[in-house]
């Protein structure tokens, strides 16, 4: 049964590593926001409505990659769905990047 969800499990394990990397690169607000936007566009899309990093951003970043894994595992043979996932991710990166609050720019 676990074999069916191999990407979901991998992304569950990998997500905390990416979150810690993002927090490290954010540098307490004095670092780079760009890697966080690149890695977690579903979380940083919230910059459209707020200029703060709040609980919603943290929760979205916790579930983003496990959901990616679930989509990949569920549509294992369908490359169109995987391509659509990549395209959505890239579009959200571009959109999120355009709404980065001014205080995060160096």
What's the pTM value of the predicted model, to 2 decimals? 0.83
DSSP state letter for 75: T
The closest of 34, 37, 55, 54 to 45, measured between CA atoms, is: 37
Give the number of domains in the chain: 1
pLDDT of residue 94 exceeding 90: yes
Residue range 30-56, pLDDT digits in tens:
778 888 889 999 888 887 777 776 787
Which residues span the domain enclosing 24? 2-104
What are residue 50's phi and psi, to 5 degrees?
Answer: -145, 160
Of residues 13 and 4, which shows the higher confidence score? 13
């Amino acid at each position: 049964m676990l074999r069916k969800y191999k990407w979901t499990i991998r992304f569950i394990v990998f997500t905390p590593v990416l979150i810690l990397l993002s927090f490290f690169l954010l540098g307490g607000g004095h670092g780079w926001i760009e890697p966080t936007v690149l890695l977690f566009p579903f979380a940083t899309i919230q910059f459209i409505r707020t200029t703060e990093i709040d609980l919603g951003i943290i929760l979205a970043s916790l579930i983003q990659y496990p959901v990616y894994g679930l989509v990949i595992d569920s549509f294992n043979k369908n490359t169109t769905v995987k391509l659509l996932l990549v395209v959505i991710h890239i579009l959200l990166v571009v959109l999120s990047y355009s709404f980065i609050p001014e205080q995060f720019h160096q």
